[in-house]
Chain A
Amino acid sequence: DIQMTQSPSLLSASVGDRVTFSCKASQNIYKYLNWYQQKLGEAPKLLIYYTNSLQTGIPSRFSGSGSGTDFTLTISSLQPEDIATYYCYQYNSGNTFGAGTKLELK
């Protein structure tokens, strides 16, 4: 089974900061990776699919990059409403979520 490792597990940032999340796959998943945002008490919300495609309605400050085993989600300028936990999800072989990165305000 493919394992997804997210780092860091906790990230502290200030409003306006550029924020970067990392996700590493245990084997090559090409670009079959999505990013989800989950706020407390809510279901996950699709932000980015197929590594770098922005889901409809998602602000352009979110972007994704990577391929193979290393992937990144970037928020170009952090907004208060972005406070949440972020998960990567691979669907190349089986389907696996990472453990998440919790984003908090500094």
Chain B
Amino acid sequence: QVQLKESGPVLVQASETLSLTCTISGFSLTNYGVIWVRQSPGRGLEWMGIIWGDGNTDYNSALKSRLSINRDTSKTQVFLKMNSLQTDDTAIYYCARGGGYPDYWGQGVMVTVSS
């Protein structure tokens, strides 16, 4: 069955870089895109970016300068890196399958940015 699971540090210092991994199973990264979405009380649900099945990426224009999404198809993993973290980047970070209509979601990982 289709599954996604986020992993990474739960506490990051301000100004540092966040690195998260989304490990998938039950589908191929070459056939589906994977998106990253974050959720916080202040921002609500925010679409961050996508890596498409062909490996191309699109990013939220507000985050583009400090965000990158990559993948390792052999390891069935998708990676998010975001630099220059601030306290308002504190959020639950989700990965999900799909571009147009993300259908399967991971459980999310809560990341706190400490000053």
Interface residues of A (CB under 8 A from B): 1, 32, 34, 42-46, 49-50, 55, 87, 89, 91, 94-97, 99-100
Contact = CB atoms under 8 A, between A and B. Distances in A.
A97 B103 contact: no
Contacts of B103: 46, 49, 55
A1 B61 contact: yes
B99 interface: yes
Interface of B: 35, 37, 44-47, 50, 60-61, 94, 96, 99-103, 105-108
A99 B47 contact: no
B44 A43 contact: no
A50 B105 CA distance: 18
Is chain A's interface secondary structure helix, strand, loop, or mixed overall?
A: loop
B45 A43 contact: no
A65 to B, nearest CB: 17
Contacts of B96: 43
A91 B99 contact: yes
B101 A43 contact: no
A97 B99 contact: no
Contacts of A49: 100-101, 103
B44 A100 contact: yes
Given A43-B94, A49-B100, A91-B99, A97 B46 contact: yes
A89 B46 CA distance: 10
A97 B96 CA distance: 14
A76 to B, nearest CB: 22
Contacts of B101: 34, 46, 49-50, 91
Given A32-B100, A55-B103, A43 B108 contact: yes
Contacts of B60: 94-95
B98 to A, nearest CB: 9
A106 B50 CA distance: 39
Contacts of A97: 37, 44-47
